[in-house]
Amino acid sequence: MSTYVQSLSDGALALGRAFARPGIYVLALAALAVWAVAYQVKQPYVVDVADMAHHPYISGFHDVETRPDDPTDRYRWSTGSPTVFIPGTGNQPVVVTLTTIGARPGGKPPPVEIEARGQRFTVQTAAEQRTDSFVLERGDALDGDVRLRMSVPAFTPPGDPRQLGVIIRRVEVAPANFDLRPVVVPSLSTLGGLLAGAAGLFALLAVTTRRHRLALTVAGIAAALGVAGIAFARPETAFLAGQLPSLAGWTFALGLSARALLDAALAGRRNSGLAAAAGSLAFALAFALRFGGVTYAQFLTSDLVLHVHNVQSVLQGVWVFTEPVPDGTLVP
């Protein structure tokens, strides 16, 4: 027990020394500056409403359907209050483009009322597929997401208890100007989440390895990966950033405890410090990868689809699931 307590004390001292040095603060300021520059890379964002990979970006929609005469044509009916949410895009004037179908039996195609950033718009649908665009101004400059809240007069078709609005096939949000101006104001929540993740990783390595330079180097690599995420996969990075503060806290606690347990278990053995450092770090990172992965928004969607397909297979009489090995042979 004394070795365990002593290890916890040593870990706390190592953490204090690590944060007493200026390196982590210089890295944090540099990371924020570079992330802000990365936000100036402008690109469009597209949500294909019927694509299950885009399911985390939508709410207020019914399940995916297909046309009887064309199984490849997939679509979703909205409810009366659908929402499309694209996180972490940064604040800038954008052009929003909606592709809709407003056909309904015995009635005229309805309008779609849209509210975003405190601004209101009306899009008139048509019986056939139609595409409409409008310019969404900055609004609150600190609002780093695009959230389109829509209102549609709903109807209930004969023999169907659902409340149906319109078919929204696609939503695109593109910069109004791809030049350097206007400047994109970064999403503060995304930057805060990434900063918490980098700091948490630094703290984890500080208490597990007790090596300040290694901890600072790995945190710098994580910050560099954040640059790539912001520049090329911004909404996905925003989803991840939202997880990082709590994930970093749990991972740090597990890493500190694991280091103390291994120090106690390996006390007196050769290279016990190195083994305890490697084992506790591996354990904490394995937890972060596993827990972070299963709670990531898009993983939840893909995992749900996998289970739905497995249930469908069981209902069709398939009880053994197979996957191909590298030579193409199917094995259970």
> What's the CA gap between 151 and 207, in Å, rounded?
51
According to the model, what pLDDT value does residue 310 have? 61
H/E segment holding residue 262: helix 234-265
- The whole-chain average pLDDT of the chain stands at 90
Q: How confident is the model at residue 68 (pLDDT cuts 50, 70, 90)?
A: confident
Phi, psi of 292 (to 5 degrees): -65, -35
* CA proximity to 27, closest of 154, 280, 279, 202: 202
**Token duo for residue 136:** 């969404």
According to the model, what pLDDT value does residue 9 have? 92
pLDDT tens digits along 81-134: 999 999 999 999 999 999 999 998 878 999 999 999 999 999 999 999 999 999
Buried/exposed 175-198: b ≥16 CB within 10 Å, e otherwise: beeeeeeeebbbbebbbebbbbbb
According to the model, what pLDDT value does residue 322 have? 67
Residue 16, C-beta contacts closer than 8 angstroms, at least 6 positions apart:
none
C-alpha Rg value of the chain to the nearest Å:
25
> What's the CA gap between 227 and 179, in Å, rounded?
20
Residue 282, C-beta contacts closer than 8 angstroms, at least 6 positions apart:
none
> What's the CA gap between 249 and 307, in Å, rounded?
30
> What's the CA gap between 47 and 76, in Å, rounded?
12
pLDDT tens digits along 205-226: 999 999 999 999 999 999 999 9
**Token duo for residue 186:** 């970064």
According to the model, what pLDDT value does residue 290 have? 87
Cis peptide bond N-terminal to 182, omega within 30 = yes
Residue 195, C-beta contacts closer than 8 angstroms, at least 6 positions apart:
28, 31, 32
H/E segment holding residue 34: helix 23-38
Task: Enter the pTM of the model.
Answer: 0.86
Contact 194, 226 (CB under 8 A): yes
CA dihedral 246, 251, 252, 253 (to 10 degrees): 90
Q: Please report where in the chains the tokens 């996905």 appear, as a residue.
A: 236
Residue 274, C-beta contacts closer than 8 angstroms, at least 6 positions apart:
none
Q: How confident is the model at residue 240 (pLDDT cuts 50, 70, 90)?
A: very high
**Token duo for residue 134:** 């409008």
According to the model, what pLDDT value does residue 106 have? 77
Assess whether pLDDT exceeds 80 at residue 314. Answer: no
**Chain center to CA of 169:** 22
Contact 287, 204 (CB under 8 A): no
Phi, psi of 22 (to 5 degrees): -75, -15
According to the model, what pLDDT value does residue 309 have? 52
pLDDT tens digits along 147-204: 999 999 999 988 889 999 999 999 999 999 999 899 999 999 999 999 999 999 999 9
